[in-house]
Amino acid sequence: MGTTSHLNQPNQAADQLLRVDDISLRFGGVNVLANVSTSVAEGEIFAIIGPNGAGKTCLLNCINRFYQPVSGRIYFEGRDITPLRPHQIPELGIARTFQNVELFKGMTVIDNIKLGRHVHLDTGLIAAGCYFGKARKTELALRKEIEERIIDLLEIEHIRKKRVGALPYGLQKRVELARALAMKPKLLLLDEPVTGMNLEETEDIARFILDIHDEWGVTIVLIEHDMGVVMDISDRVCVLDFGVKIAEGSPDDVRHNEQVIKAYLGEQDLTYSRLGA
């Protein structure tokens, strides 16, 4: 995959979409996150990397309120969202995918995707039950948008009516991404989007992420262990190690950071290719 033109954009405070201030999280006596601060500018692709157990997913879980930090604040579009409940986060325009596919396996692809829009629907109970008037118009408009934009973008037309549980893992990950897009996100949180995929599937997902960013204007935060993907598509990279932020900057800066090298490889010499050169 070639270098993209949007790399290394500045992260100016005025353009901040997401800000994390001194977030700490503990489970029992274990510090999972320790005073982590970072920010994501509107329009960025921002990667969070680190060894296993570094606290990456825990940080995403704090952002979308699955976990309550013991200290610190989280701001989205300048608003303090720390007091909010998890079900309120999608209404703000924050969508999420997960390490493990979280879909309704007995439902079709199209029905799983449509569930992503429920947070924005305001059809009354009676109208929805009888399927007339506003309910019918809303349903038809939703189906049209999903089929013409999301399904086409992610190239899943051929499986739209198939049961999700019968699909291979790579396609299930695509469906989960489609459901997140149906939420009309301003900020998309992707937790290991290419884990477990072969080279072709990985390149497809990386291409879809760039298309979502470029064509939809969605700001993206991703956690990923595939350093080739991270270094190729990210504007900036934040590195966690044992719950502490040890580096942040451009992919090239992070690639050559000695603390990052030690976190991944101990005291061994870094081979340039190990971090995606």
Q: To which residue do tokens 């939420």 refer?
A: 183
In which band, very low, low, confident or very high, does the pLDDT at 134 lie, cut at 50, 70 and 90?
low
Structural domains of the chain, with CATH: 9-93+186-277 (3.40.50.300), 103-184 (no CATH)
pLDDT digits (tens, 9 = 90+) for 97-119: 988 777 888 899 988 888 877 65
In which band, very low, low, confident or very high, does the pLDDT at 6 lie, cut at 50, 70 and 90?
very low
> Beta strand pairing status for 187-191 and 219-223?
parallel
pLDDT digits (tens, 9 = 90+) for 224-245: 999 999 999 999 999 999 999 9
User: Within 10 Å of residue 129's Cβ, how many Cβ atoms?
Assistant: 10
Q: Is the pTM of this model over 0.75?
A: yes
Residues 103/119, Cβ–Cβ less than 8 Å: no
d(CA 187, CA 232): 20
Provide mean pLDDT across the span 154-179.
92
DSSP state of 108: B
DSSP state of 147: I
> What is residue 101's predicted lDDT score, i.e. its pLDDT?
73
> What is residue 141's predicted lDDT score, i.e. its pLDDT?
67
d(CA 60, CA 212): 20
Among the listed residues 75, 208, 94, the one whose alpha carbon sits nearest the alpha carbon of residue 152: 208
Work out the angle at residue 220's Cα, subtended by the Cα atoms of residues 215 and 224, and round it to the nearest 5 degrees: 125
pLDDT digits (tens, 9 = 90+) for 23-52: 999 998 899 999 999 999 999 999 999 998
Q: To which residue do tokens 């300048």 refer?
A: 78
